[in-house]
Structure 1
C-alpha cells in the first residue's frame, strides 16, 4: 500500500491558500494537508491545524514553502537536516550561492523547486547537456505597482507611476535581479537553475501600466539550437505580484512527488 505524503504549508497567502485548499479537498492523490505555518492568526480560515514551524517539520514528510525568500534563507537548511523534504516556490533565494551549496549538501531531506510561472525549463535542463547556452535572455513585464521597491529612488518611482507605456526598471543577471525584487522575479532564478548558470541569464524587468497580464519571454541559444518561450498570465486578484497559475504549478509538483518520490522536477 502506498504511503500518503504528509504535507505542511508555510504561508497562507495567494499561493498557500490555493495549494492548501486543494490538498484538504483531496485533489492531489497520495498527499494530504497536515498543518499550516503562518505568522498571522488564521483561526478557522485554515483547513488544518496552524502550528509553529518546528512542529510542522516534525509532523510532515514534506514542507511547501509559499511565504517568500526569507523563509528559505532562515529555515530551509534546518528542514532538510531534520530529514523532511522541502519544495521551494521562492526560487529567488537560491541565487545566493552559499545558501544553494548548503542546501544541496544538506540532508537526509531532499530539496525540490517548482518552475512556477514559466515553462520550458525541462527543455533548457535537457539541452544544457549538449553544451552551454551562450545567450540567454529573460524579459519580465508587470504592472508598475507590483514592482515598486524600498530601494528605488524618487526619480524611478515617478517614472513608473507616470508611465503611459513600458519602462525598463532594471537590467542585470539572474543573480542580481531576484534579490532586488524578492516577490516578483522568482522566474529569473528558475530559468537560471534550469540553465545551470546564474550569470549567463540576462534579465530585464519592465513596468507597463497596460500589462493586464504578467508576461515572461525567455530566449536562449547555443551551437545546438535556439529556443524561445513566451507566457502571459493573469495576475492573482488578491496579490497581483504573483501570477494566478503559480499555486497550480506547485500542485503539479506535489502530485509528481506523491507519485514518484525522490525524482527531481
Structure 2
C-alpha cells in the first residue's frame, strides 16, 4: 500500500464488471482505496472517472491492479505486474486452470496475487473442510442461457442443438481443469471451486444450456468423511454482458474492501 495509507487501484477493463467497480471506487465507496487509472484496449473518450493509461503506466502508479477483462490479461501481464511489486486481484480465475501459469504467478513477486469469489459462495467452507482431509466427491453444475455458451470450437451439430433447444441440454462435462478453457468467459466459477478444493481434477463440472434459464444457476455438491455440503446460487445475468452475473463486480468490491482493511470486513 502507498505511504499515504490509501490503496491506489488500477482497473483493467471498462466493461460490465469494470464500470461498476470503477464507478464505486471513484465515488469513495471503498474506504481506504482510490481509483488511480483505467486500462482498456479501446479508447474510452473520457467515459471512465479516471485517466486511461497504458498498462505499463498503471503498473508504475498503482499498489494493486484489478483484472476485469478476461483470462488473457492474467496470462499476458500477470507475472510482469507481480514482478514490479504491484499486487494483482484476479476476477477471471479460469486462467489459473493452467497449472504452469498458476505456479509462476504464485512464485512471482514481490507483488501478491489475490482472487475474488466471483459469482459463487461457500468457498471459505470448502477450504475449511479441505483442512480436515480430501473430499471424495465435488460436483459443480452450471446452467445458463444457450446464447451465452456458444463458442468458436463448437461444431454445427452442437450449435444447432443449442439454438433449437426447448429443454435443458448438457453442453459439456469434464473436470475443472478442462471446462474453463472451453468457456473462458462463462465458467470461472469452476476454477474458483477448484482453487478452494485444491485439486483441479477432483472437481467434476457439468455445463447445461437451458432456454428457460431466467437466472444463471450454480450448484456445488461436495461430500467427504467429515460431512456433505450443497450450495446453490441463482443470479440474474448482467444486462450488458449476459455471460457474467450481475453480482460479480460487487464480489470484486468486497475483495477490495478486505484488502484495503475496511472495518468489519469478513476476510
Q: What TM bracket, shorter-length normalisation? A: over 0.9
CA RMSD after TM alignment: 1.4
* Pick aligned residue for 2:29 from 18, 27, 37: 27
Cα separation, 1, equivalents of 2:4 and 2:54: 28
* Separation in 1, partners of 2:54, 2:227: 48
Q: 5 Å matches for 1:250-265?
A: 250-259=252-261
What is the TM-score of this pair, normalised by structure 1?
A: 0.97
Displacement after TM superposition at 1:43 (Å)? 1.3
Deviations along 1:134-159, one digit per CA (max 9) or x if unpaired, are 10000000000000000000000000
| Aligned 1:207-226 pairs, distance under 5 A | 207-226=209-228
| Divergent runs of 4+, >2 A | none
Partner of 1:201: 203
Aligned residue for 1:125?
127
Is 1:64 matched with 2:66? yes
**Aligned-residue offset at 1:36:** 0.1
- Residue 83 of structure 1 pairs with residue 85 of structure 2: yes
SS at the partner of 2:46?
helix
Q: 1:43 aligns to what SS in structure 2?
A: coil
Corresponding residue for residue 38 of structure 1? 40
The alpha-carbon deviation at position 216 of structure 1 amounts to 0.1
> Could you say what secondary structure the match of 2:51 adopts?
coil
> Cα offset for 1:2?
6.6
CA distance in 2, matches of 1:58, 1:9: 13
**In the alignment, does 2:87 pair up with 1:103?**
no
**Alignment partner, residue 15 of structure 1:** 17
SS in structure 2 opposite 1:39? Answer: coil
The correspondence for 1:177, drawn from 155, 179, 204, is: 179
Provide the C-alpha distance between the structure 2 equivalents of 1:44 and 1:198, rounded to a whole number of angstroms.
41
1:95 is displaced (CA, Å) by 0.3
Unaligned ranges ≥5, structure 1: none
Question: Which of the numbers 6, 9, 14 marks the counterpart of 2:8?
Answer: 6
Q: How does 1:235-250 map to 2 (within 5 A)?
A: 235-250=237-252
Q: Distance in 1 between matches of 2:150 and 2:117?
A: 23
Of the candidates 73, 76, 79, which is equivalent to residue 74 of structure 1?
76
Equivalent pairs, count = 263
Residue 44 of structure 1, CA deviation: 1.7
